[in-house]
Amino acid sequence: MRHVKSLSARSVNAYLARSGPVWQEGYHDHAIRAGEDLREVARYVIANPVRAGLVPRVGDYPLWDAVWL
């Protein structure tokens, strides 16, 4: 994950012609483990735009659709 975050941060900064952190401090990746409810995790992720205040409802976000809903 560290490698992915490093490469993506470099790409984003190069594209935006800037430098500095891209990833939020304190970000922790989380692998879905056997036994965890994939549907629950997917719903949490899909609701992120609502929690961030980008849209009032999940259905208002253009990329909300997923098979796990």
Q: Is 65 left (phi over 0), alpha (psi -120 to 50) or beta?
A: beta
Please give the average per-residue pLDDT across 13-38, as a whole number. Answer: 83
**Do residues 32 and 41 make contact, with C-beta atoms less than 8 angstroms apart?**
yes
CA-only gyration radius of the chain, Å: 15
So what's the pLDDT on residue 69? 60
**Do residues 58 and 46 make contact, with C-beta atoms less than 8 angstroms apart?**
yes
Q: What pLDDT digit, counting tens, does each position of 43-61 carry?
A: 888 889 999 999 999 888 8
Please give the average per-residue pLDDT across 25-53, as a whole number. Answer: 81
If one counts every other C-beta atom within 10 angstroms of the C-beta of residue 6, the result is: 12
Q: Provide the whole-model pTM.
A: 0.49
